[in-house]
Structure 1
Amino acid sequence: MTAWREAGSLVTHKALGELSYEGLLRPEPDGDPDDRGHRPWRLELSSGAVYRFHARRGAFESWSVRPGSATRDGHPADDPRALVVDARAELGLTGLRLADVLSELTATVANEAARLDRAPNAAELVLLDYDSADGHLTGHPRIVLNKGRVGFSAADRDRYAPESGRDFALPWLAVHRDHASFRSVEGLSARQLLTEELGEELLERFRAKVPDPDDYVLVPVHPWQLDEVIGVLYAGEIATGAVVPVGESTDRYRPHQTVRTLANATDPVRRDVKTAVSVRNTLVYRGLASAATLAAPQVTTWLRAVHDADPLLRDDYRFDLLGEVASVSVRHPLFGAVDELPYRFHETLGALWREPVRTRLAPGERALSFAALPYRGPDGQSVIAHLIGTSGLSTDEWTGRVLDLLLTPLLHWLLEHGVGFCPHGQNLILVTDDHGVPLRVAIKDFAQGVDLLDEHLPAYDLLGAEASADMLRWPAHLLAQSLFSSVFAGQLRFLAEVLLDDLDHPRARLWARVREVVGRYRDAHPASAARFDACGLFAADVERVCLNREHLAGEGFDKVDRDDEFDVRSGRVPNPLAGPDPGGAW
């Protein structure tokens, strides 16, 4: 099978599962389950096409479709675009939106095919450094069109996509202070930051390109953004000297899955850089919102203060915060003054500097994205199965450690301090020893990635005014979706299926471990019991967040405020934290 067909098959099977999970497709039983719980299903669409596949139902009424089992009218189903066309009535797609979805889906398959062309086995992936491994991952586990990157050409994909494995230099601009603002954590000046990131010689060379360097702010820019956006929207500012290209970095940078976050591939001590890249990937354009960008160092300062004063976070779990220590945001003199423009026109130029996980590792430690755990290489072995096998621990011991290291700190942040992170797999990092034994967890992405409760908590008194004004506040049951949507339904339901397939580890046992960790936290912290109940962590059912419904509708791409409402939800599903499933699915 070619990489293109293999990628198409992977995306098709994922689409059948995730679109059925969100209630957009409604397959009917077509036989009895096999000894692994996979049952034949039949999906007859209004177009007349008939799909058949084998799938196992899991937690949150999810679907785990057996790879290679799907057929379309009796032939292997390996083109997700055919599925979308066949199901366009069920998906509510017509005209231009249908064309856009098909285009984005084609790009997703192309990027997956590029990944498969150089895919390592699990044993090889875990030996790669964190930044190199990131380029081999499959992307968002729930969103079907997860690598569309609308705006990238085929040449851009080859240059800048993480799947390409290429490094590149970063152009730098000097922007007049009338339009640019700089923020940093206490004790880190702009001069110190730039010296550490560029070196004294290159910094002086850049400063010499403008008449009065103290009147300008230096900012790195993604090369795609410079060509496609800055060179067009800032043409007047470049012509008048308000924006001055000053040169390129001598260091090379490697993109993460987010495309806009770049790791320094030349000097591992230097920070990761998050840049504005106005491509649309998954649900949003990947620019940098000004208020959130400028507030990020203050958010980092606050999170550190809370963390350092809390023995559970600081000592017991060593839950690591990869801080965003400095930022620059540029306000376009014309577009920035027109409030009713879509948000992407206000997020075109800026940068964040983040502490890299590679500088936080002791000798004998490794870092791996949680998004890598379900990764399966060409030999069929998953990363999580490989780590368990080399750790010397039983599956139950290993998963118990990871769940405790992950869930207890996140519960504590939410219930004790009123903080909801965005803890999807890409933002969570598992630190292990050389043998794969779990040691601790780190988290990143604080700008627009940390929300608060809509009540007052003592920790909020330490929050700076700029950060407080930018951070969103939600009722407890919605902020708890930071766990339900991002962790329980966004990661653990997938890992439960992988562990059953690879290691015969019962899904019910994994979810029993989850309930043990969550219940133990509740018992140990009676003062937060009311907030625990308000979050609905043990409620009988929970709202189902439907990211594909939101994505396919395509109604939020041109919003003025991209965060003006919570994620799309549709229906309620049984909560696996409330108790075990009689059938053993959780």
Structure 2
Amino acid sequence: MTQSQSYIGQRIIDTCLRENVCELMSRGRLLTTLPADLARHWPGSSVSPQAWLQVSHLGTQTLFIPLEATEYLQHWRAAGTGWLLQPEPPAAARYSQGYTAWLECLAAGLTQEEARLFRDYILEADCAAEHRELCRQAYRSQTPLLRQSLGCAKQSTGATGVSQAADWHRQLLLSDQLAAYLDHPYYPTARAKVGFDAAALRRYAPEFAPRFELNWLAVDKRQVSLTSAVPACWPTMSQVGLAPELSLSHCLFPVHPLTLASLGVLPEGIIRAPSAYLTVQPTLSVRTLALVDFPGVHIKVPLLMATLGAKNIRLIKPSTLYDGHWFERALTRIAQTDAVIGQLFAHVDERHGGHLGEHKEFAYIVRRYPESMQRQQLVPVAALASEMPDGRLYLAHLADVYYQGDWQAWFDDYLSLLLRVHLRLWLKYGMALESNQQNAVLAYRVSGLSLVMKDNDSARLLPERYLQSAVECAVKGSGDGAEARAQAQAQLAGLLDRRILVEGDEALAQMFVTITLQLDIAAIIEAMAAKGLGTRAYLYRRLREQLIAELDALDAQGIATAYARNYLLQQSYLPLKYLLSSGSLLSKTRSGASDVNKFYGQSAPNFLLETLPGAELAAGPEAGVAAGGEPSPCQ
């Protein structure tokens, strides 16, 4: 077993325990010690577990899984990648290890269709292990550039922030590259870019910082929907090798080289351009491409690649063009009128895009960074916990540049920014954003810290609170509240994905907890503690104190906080995204989830409590599911 296979295996087993896959925790039995007749089968050189999980409901074999206690999102995690397997007597117990054997054990006794998902996931795990090895090689080869870029970051930041347009864009791409070397905190095989072989990874993945030319399709204008005029950087027909007069009847759609190669016979009305045009470099999302010669422009294109689960194929649903722009406009209005958070965030320009009917393979979105953003250093949250060549976290280097090395000041500012913006959006405007580590971008400048927002096409919105906020804003400005409500009501009708509209606070709370608190804050806290930048107790205490301070401030402004206080500060367990279950191991029919990225269990120990619930020798809460499905297919 390679080091990468062992690493991926550990992540998979831990996640299965965390998500109660196959009811491991809710039906398993926790033991203080291994039965004496089995102990001799446990390898002497292996770890010494704190407890054992006995699982007897998976087929005809009993598993004895070694455990160690943890306080981070689960009470117990695996102590290594091995376990004991006890077949029915008289067969002897044996030691087993590795993700292939693990997933085969879990699939025992499943229906053929359910077992197929587990077998398919073994292939994803193989891909993750292979891609991890390749990306580690990429990191080693890129180390001189990364080390040199540390100096560039310090030299290019002055009294007003990043001094030149080329600097801000180079630093943004560097941050994305650094983030790409770090695994997703919670999805165990996020390293896998399913659909990429080794050659494609080197050619098109951000870990390798490649540059390549964008391909183009000429699409019949009668079949196309464009949301606005194309950007000035768009090629002409002749620049992509087509007859100039074709511009009278067709328009150009960008297409990723890998997607183009897989399209086969094109639908009627679409012509493949013979020449590529515009040099691009992949960002962290892989399918969003930065234009090298036009630093303020990124283009999001469909890509036949799956990440974070086999169901997450990175195409573009046409409705997201409109819903994403809807939230861009709504958030921009809030920034223009809200005195508390108006200066704390800005949204990129996502007004332009195009699509061919409802085809997810023929669509694109243009993302433009205005000049105001080009005078700052932009860093995705995903990069903060990345390890730099000197062994320190990237966030420590940011603290050096902007906080004179005071990481505590950096941390306090970071907490304040995220909590102030997202609590207010939730409790005043009824809005929760899926601003995950990739989409949440920090804007650093000497004069302060703010957020750059993008890609908000899958937010959640509580209509009545949003309408009421529009009325209050109008009345405060001596406007007509009834008219403002009618206008806001008309705006809501423009949302195409009606899953965005929710009926109560719970959906907003779930997103705030699983995205802002767990992904954007807790994952960073754990990385800081692992590097000795504060203890876990201190860092989580600061989080609790700042969250309470923000809630108190909202209370003082007349904004109701009782629901949030109870949800965040009183419950023993918080929601947790069951990404592995919904993304790979459960069918949509079995999970009942209308959105695989919003499938929750109420099983994460609440790190906001003054005293965390302990890892007692009991299975803990049964991992209920908040998306209408059963916790597991295993019986």
Work out whether the TM-score is over 0.5.
Answer: yes
Counterparts of 1:422-437 in structure 2, within 5 Å, are 422-432=434-444
Aligned to 1:550: 582
Q: Which protein has greater RCO, CA pairs closer than 8 Å, 6+ apart?
A: 2
For 1:277, what is the secondary structure of its paired residue?
A: coil
| 2:236 equivalent to 1:196 | no
Q: Which runs of 5+ in 2 are unaligned?
A: 34-47, 86-93, 154-169, 471-484, 617-635
Identity of aligned residues (%): 19
The one of 274, 286, 294 equivalent to 1:259 is: 286
For 1:158, what is the secondary structure of its paired residue?
A: helix
Deviation at 1:473, TM superposition (A): 1.0
Deviation at 1:326, TM superposition (A): 0.6
Tell me, in whole angstroms, the C-alpha distance in 1 between the residues paired with 2:186 and 2:128.
13
Alignment RMSD = 3.9
Tell me, in whole angstroms, the C-alpha distance in 2 between the residues paired with 1:430 and 1:29.
45
Assess, with a 3 A threshold, how the Cα gap between structure 1 residues 224 and 404 changes in structure 2: closer, same or farther: same
The answer on whether the counterparts of 1:402 and 1:438 sit within 8 Å (CA) in structure 2 is no
Aligned to 2:412: 400
Task: Name which of structure 1's ranges 114-123 and 284-293 shifts more when overlaid on structure 2.
Answer: 114-123
Tell me, in whole angstroms, the C-alpha distance in 1 between the residues paired with 2:354 and 2:183.
28
Aligned to 2:227: 183
Tell me, in whole angstroms, the C-alpha distance in 2 between the residues paired with 1:111 and 1:83.
21
The answer on whether the counterparts of 1:9 and 1:77 sit within 8 Å (CA) in structure 2 is no
Tell me, in whole angstroms, the C-alpha distance in 1 between the residues paired with 2:340 and 2:463.
24
The answer on whether the counterparts of 2:237 and 2:244 sit within 8 Å (CA) in structure 1 is no
Deviation at 1:452, TM superposition (A): 0.9
* Paired letter, 1:488: L
Aligned to 1:279: 305
Assess, with a 3 A threshold, how the Cα gap between structure 1 residues 144 and 566 changes in structure 2: closer, same or farther: closer
Aligned to 2:133: 113
Deviation at 1:105, TM superposition (A): 1.2
Aligned to 2:479: none
Deviation at 1:330, TM superposition (A): 0.8
Aligned residues: 534
Assess, with a 3 A threshold, how the Cα gap between structure 1 residues 562 and 574 changes in structure 2: closer, same or farther: closer
Aligned to 1:15: 12
Aligned to 2:521: 492
Tell me, in whole angstroms, the C-alpha distance in 2 between the residues paired with 1:91 and 1:370.
39
* Paired letter, 2:349: G
For 1:145, what is the secondary structure of its paired residue?
A: coil
Deviation at 1:103, TM superposition (A): 1.0
| 2:142 equivalent to 1:129 | no
| 2:219 equivalent to 1:219 | no
For 1:273, what is the secondary structure of its paired residue?
A: strand
| 2:500 equivalent to 1:470 | no
Tell me, in whole angstroms, the C-alpha distance in 1 between the residues paired with 2:494 and 2:574.
30
Aligned to 2:104: 85
CA distances 1:472-510 after superposition (whole Å, capped 9, x unpaired): 112211122221111222243332322222115222222
| 2:437 equivalent to 1:418 | no
* Paired letter, 1:81: T
Tell me, in whole angstroms, the C-alpha distance in 1 between the residues paired with 2:194 and 2:240.
32
Tell me, in whole angstroms, the C-alpha distance in 2 between the residues paired with 1:76 and 1:6.
19
Deviation at 1:273, TM superposition (A): 0.6
| 2:365 equivalent to 1:352 | yes
Aligned to 2:201: 157
Aligned to 1:342: none
| 2:567 equivalent to 1:536 | yes
CA distances 1:45-82 after superposition (whole Å, capped 9, x unpaired): 665676546x451244366778xx55567999995334
| 2:453 equivalent to 1:449 | no
* Paired letter, 1:251: L
The answer on whether the counterparts of 2:324 and 2:455 sit within 8 Å (CA) in structure 1 is no
Task: Name which of structure 1's ranges 44-53 and 463-472 shifts more when overlaid on structure 2.
Answer: 44-53
Tell me, in whole angstroms, the C-alpha distance in 2 between the residues paired with 1:256 and 1:76.
43
| 2:217 equivalent to 1:173 | yes
Tell me, in whole angstroms, the C-alpha distance in 2 between the residues paired with 1:568 and 1:476.
16
The answer on whether the counterparts of 1:423 and 1:483 sit within 8 Å (CA) in structure 2 is no
Tell me, in whole angstroms, the C-alpha distance in 2 between the residues paired with 1:264 and 1:91.
48
Deviation at 1:181, TM superposition (A): 0.2
Assess, with a 3 A threshold, how the Cα gap between structure 1 residues 450 and 348 changes in structure 2: closer, same or farther: same
Assess, with a 3 A threshold, how the Cα gap between structure 1 residues 538 and 207 changes in structure 2: closer, same or farther: farther
Tell me, in whole angstroms, the C-alpha distance in 2 between the residues paired with 1:513 and 1:368.
23
For 1:368, what is the secondary structure of its paired residue?
A: strand
Tell me, in whole angstroms, the C-alpha distance in 2 between the residues paired with 1:368 and 1:119.
19
Aligned to 2:621: none
The answer on whether the counterparts of 1:13 and 1:65 sit within 8 Å (CA) in structure 2 is yes
Task: Name which of structure 1's ranges 319-328 and 208-217 shifts more when overlaid on structure 2.
Answer: 208-217
Aligned to 2:481: none
